[in-house]
Structure 1
Amino acid sequence: MKTNRYLPLVGGLLLSLGSQAQTKLATGSQKPMPAAEWIDADTGHKIVRLTALDGANESFYFHNNPFVKSLGAAGDKMVYYHSSPAGKQLYALNLKTHQSEALTRPFARVHGEIVGKKRREVFYQVGDTVYATHIDSKKTRRVFVFPADFKADITTLNADESQLGGAWGSDAEKEIYRQYPAKSDFFNRIYEAKLPRTLFMVSADGNGQLTKLFTDNAWLNHVQFSPTDPRCLMFCHEGPWEKVDRIWTLDTKTKAVKLVHKRTMDREIAGHEWFGADGKTIWFDHQKPRGQTFAVTGANLQTGQEKSYAHTRDEWSVHYTSSADQKTFAGDGGYPTSVAKSAEGHWIYLFTPEGDHFRSEKLANLKTHDYKLEPNVHFSPDGKWLIFRANFEGQAQVYAVEIAKAAI
């Protein structure tokens, strides 16, 4: 993969060329855009393409951390996926120098989005085998091989980086996926089948230890470890959100399972949950009932108390996220056929809590983006940018939009 040949980054992201930085363009009005950065004509915020146009590039799912801190004067790094005719591989982008380097090029197609910030390793799978590659040295080790009777996938790493977690599904479930590969076809079928699923851990040290934690005849999914409590594992009961009590936690030592939010009315939904950075709150998309009212709600794991921030139908987002201090939030917008049914929801949003609601600001216009690729916003490590993926230039690339409005 070719490295980006843009200007060096300052404060974590790209420093602009004078004339180029002042160019106002409608985002996605040209395929490709004529430069790697521009001012969004509809919002006045600077957008920078972080990846080069030599293949498809995608940033991580919204609750998967892609960042590791800098070493000395080096820049923070962001791990992302690069796809080419040779396959889909993990790369690391230096957010200061803008140089990209391959992490997993020797392997066949890889999957998994797990970055160990302390270990400075990225964990991933090739078939049934889990590997870890050091982000700086590129040294790779084999971590675990799933046995023939327990084929599963890792999805998360706990706070002390000692255990990887995930969910195992039955062969009958895998057969439903094989016969009905489209989400619209398999989703209700898997939910209604009530097949067994098992939450598990494997040792990140590579000693071969597999621990089965919890089994239920339900679609256990969206498995995430707390960022601060090594024993706290969050998971969901997947399925139509209005039919499930979705969000749960599990103590990996005591095996105690606890419901985080109990539905209070018919067709109430709570979903696309994520941990706040301090691990004390689980936030989620909250609608009472589905498609009628819209909010982001946080449940305190110690007290059970909840805090909701309402927002408009147009501001509903496929996924939300929160800043490190949880004082601001962001959303990636939506599309007309989504649950909110809004024709004007196609924006990257910044949300600031004010009382019981969000004050919103539009940062990037995604009108020409195809939301079959979910943008999945992340706050940059310095908190000054929102990083997302989009295909408005014709294929998936990774972008950053500056939270402060551009000075023109």
Structure 2
Amino acid sequence: MKFKILILLAIYAHASIAQQKQKTGPDMPDSWIDADTDHKIVRLTNNNRSNLSFYFHNNPFVGDKMVYYSTEKTVDPAAKQETYNSNARDRQLYLLDLKTLQAERLTNHASPITGEIVSPQRNEAFYQVKDSVFAVNLSTKKNRLVYVFPDDFKAGITTINADGTLLAGAKTSDTEKDILKQNPAKSSYFNLIYEAKLPRTLFTIDINNGTLNKIFTDSAWLNHIQFSPTDPSLLMFCHEGPWHKVDRIWTIDVNSKAIKLIHKRTIPMEIAGHEWFSKDGRYIWFDLQQPRGSTFFVSGVELATGKTTRYELQRNEWSVHYTSSANNKVFAGDGGDPGSVAKAPDGQWIYYFRPNGDRFQAEKLVNMKHHQYRLEPNIHFSPDQQWVIFRANFEGRENIYAVEIKSSKR
């Protein structure tokens, strides 16, 4: 059965034109037409909590269901407003049926949980509470303990491999943890951690027998760790830090330990990052700027051949994150505010990109001018590829939305 998000149609059908055109505010309808783009938007989460979809390269889907985070609203004393708090006591995983918009709670832990890891093969979501790794079955909702890190190797999981047999992540040093604790703002810790050149260790955990395997250690900030969606042995990681100072994107074969640099910078101030695997595992795509803040591309490397593909886009079309469709024929981006790296004067949009030669032809899907980009929208194509799912705070609190790629005028 074809996936559909067209929920609450009765509400939508009877909404007035004024309601449908409304873009912000606490009394928005459950679905409306963006007045500036003529695309339909549906709010997928409807509760009194703060709701966040996964980071852009973390798959949240199993069939027509999506795993997401939901937490109690907290008040930011400085901003004097309700906001999402990643350390909130009640930060839990939920499961959303995209056909009915019915949500079910998956976890119940007294401590905050971390981990955006879904395995369609196992029909499970994996997460971590302090030093313990758990899995929850998405059908039965039964939680189980998977692994407890030993006292001499406290680390965090970030990804699962294609056949659902290995978890992976990185262990940080105590010194790095102290830097983060003393300098919680990214503007403070980012350069400090990079310059410290502290050791990090990549590892895997065999889910079936609990074996911990340390696969690579370097005096570098190893980050953005993600398994290929199709090759169970291929792990991607980055050298984090100021992008113009690092050759960022790497892969490692977890069996042979062979390491490969995916993209080598060639000019001063070139940056490449926010990398992701294509759904078919053929490509690694990434944001490329040559130089930083000047000329903008989405670039991809075909892993089998090393062939590079580049699509240029305009400054206003640059996005904090991009994503690709299942067939790599279309892309989406979440835009950026004027304070972002592109300094775009009119970049606050959810975009849909069609390659046209060596450039992107951009279509605006959602006006994000009332969204505060301290919360990254982190777009995903829906399982049927007909919608773009994103998170936003333009209603005054965090929720998850879907915008239909087909225009309401077509």
TM-score by length of 1: 0.94
Aligned partner of residue 223 in structure 1, secondary structure: strand
Worse-matched range after superposition: 248-257 or 83-92: 83-92
From 36, 45, 56, the equivalent of 1:42 is: 36
From 116, 121, 130, the equivalent of 2:119 is: 116
From 225, 228, 231, the equivalent of 2:227 is: 225
- Map of 1:394 onto structure 2: 396
Residues 21, 38 of structure 1: 8 Å contact kept: no
Question: Per-residue deviation at 1:177?
Answer: 0.3
Label 1:21 to 1:268 Cα distance change in 2 as closer, same or farther (>3 A). farther
Q: What CA distance in whole angstroms lies between the structure 2 residues aligned with 1:10 and 1:357?
A: 31
From 289, 300, 303, the equivalent of 2:291 is: 289
Aligned partner of residue 116 in structure 2, secondary structure: strand
Worse-matched range after superposition: 99-108 or 385-394: 99-108
What CA RMSD, in Å, does the superposition of the two structures yield over aligned residues?
1.4
Asked if residue 406 in structure 1 is aligned to residue 381 in structure 2, the reply is no
Q: For 1:166-206, what per-residue CA distance to the aligned partner results, in whole angstroms no more than 9, with x for missing partners?
A: 1110000000000000110000000000000000001122x
Q: What CA distance in whole angstroms lies between the structure 2 residues aligned with 1:42 and 1:296?
A: 25
Question: Per-residue deviation at 1:232?
Answer: 0.4
From 20, 23, 31, the equivalent of 1:24 is: 20
Q: What CA distance in whole angstroms lies between the structure 2 residues aligned with 1:392 and 1:99?
A: 23
Asked if residue 179 in structure 1 is aligned to residue 182 in structure 2, the reply is yes
Asked if residue 249 in structure 1 is aligned to residue 237 in structure 2, the reply is no
Count of equivalent residues: 391
Residues 390, 401 of structure 2: 8 Å contact kept: yes
Residues 317-328 of structure 1 mapped to structure 2, 5 A cutoff: 317-328=319-330
Asked if residue 301 in structure 1 is aligned to residue 303 in structure 2, the reply is yes
Residues 314, 345 of structure 1: 8 Å contact kept: yes
Label 1:239 to 1:117 Cα distance change in 2 as closer, same or farther (>3 A). same
Amino acid at match of 2:90: G
Q: For 1:18-62, what per-residue CA distance to the aligned partner results, in whole angstroms no more than 9, with x for missing partners?
A: 23285432422x2x1431110000000000000013110000000
From 6, 11, 31, the equivalent of 1:14 is: 6
Aligned partner of residue 330 in structure 1, secondary structure: strand
Asked if residue 81 in structure 1 is aligned to residue 83 in structure 2, the reply is no
Q: What CA distance in whole angstroms lies between the structure 2 residues aligned with 1:167 and 1:66?
A: 21
From 163, 170, 178, the equivalent of 1:160 is: 163
Label 1:256 to 1:10 Cα distance change in 2 as closer, same or farther (>3 A). closer
Q: What CA distance in whole angstroms lies between the structure 2 residues aligned with 1:57 and 1:189?
A: 31
Amino acid at match of 1:116: S
Q: What CA distance in whole angstroms lies between the structure 1 residues aligned with 2:306 and 2:316?
A: 29
Residues 145-156 of structure 1 mapped to structure 2, 5 A cutoff: 145-156=148-159
Amino acid at match of 2:21: L
Amino acid at match of 2:71: S
Question: Per-residue deviation at 1:99?
Answer: 0.6
Label 1:21 to 1:356 Cα distance change in 2 as closer, same or farther (>3 A). farther
Q: For 1:248-292, what per-residue CA distance to the aligned partner results, in whole angstroms no more than 9, with x for missing partners?
A: 000111101110000010111110000011111100000000000
Residues 188, 240 of structure 1: 8 Å contact kept: yes
Q: For 1:314-369, what per-residue CA distance to the aligned partner results, in whole angstroms no more than 9, with x for missing partners?
A: 00000000000111000000011110001210000000001000000000000000
Q: For 1:83-128, what per-residue CA distance to the aligned partner results, in whole angstroms no more than 9, with x for missing partners?
A: 0165110000001111100000244321110001011000000111
- Map of 1:258 onto structure 2: 260
Amino acid at match of 1:377: I
Asked if residue 190 in structure 1 is aligned to residue 184 in structure 2, the reply is no
Asked if residue 132 in structure 1 is aligned to residue 124 in structure 2, the reply is no
Question: Per-residue deviation at 1:302?
Answer: 1.7
Aligned partner of residue 186 in structure 1, secondary structure: helix
Amino acid at match of 1:353: P
- Map of 1:72 onto structure 2: none
Asked if residue 311 in structure 1 is aligned to residue 305 in structure 2, the reply is no
Aligned partner of residue 317 in structure 2, secondary structure: coil
Aligned partner of residue 13 in structure 1, secondary structure: coil
Q: What CA distance in whole angstroms lies between the structure 1 residues aligned with 2:266 and 2:47?
A: 48
Aligned partner of residue 340 in structure 1, secondary structure: coil
Q: What CA distance in whole angstroms lies between the structure 2 residues aligned with 1:157 and 1:96?
A: 26
Label 1:302 to 1:403 Cα distance change in 2 as closer, same or farther (>3 A). same
Q: For 1:130-177, what per-residue CA distance to the aligned partner results, in whole angstroms no more than 9, with x for missing partners?
A: 000001101111111111111111000001110000111000000000
Question: Per-residue deviation at 1:242?
Answer: 0.5
- Map of 1:4 onto structure 2: none
Asked if residue 63 in structure 1 is aligned to residue 66 in structure 2, the reply is no
Q: What CA distance in whole angstroms lies between the structure 2 residues aligned with 1:10 and 1:197?
A: 44
Extract structure 1 runs of 4+ deviating beyond 4 A: none
- Map of 1:105 onto structure 2: 108
Unaligned runs of 5+ in 1: 1-8, 70-75
- Map of 2:79 onto structure 1: none
Amino acid at match of 2:52: E
Q: What CA distance in whole angstroms lies between the structure 1 residues aligned with 2:354 and 2:222?
A: 32
Residues 205, 211 of structure 2: 8 Å contact kept: yes
Q: What CA distance in whole angstroms lies between the structure 1 residues aligned with 2:308 and 2:338?
A: 30
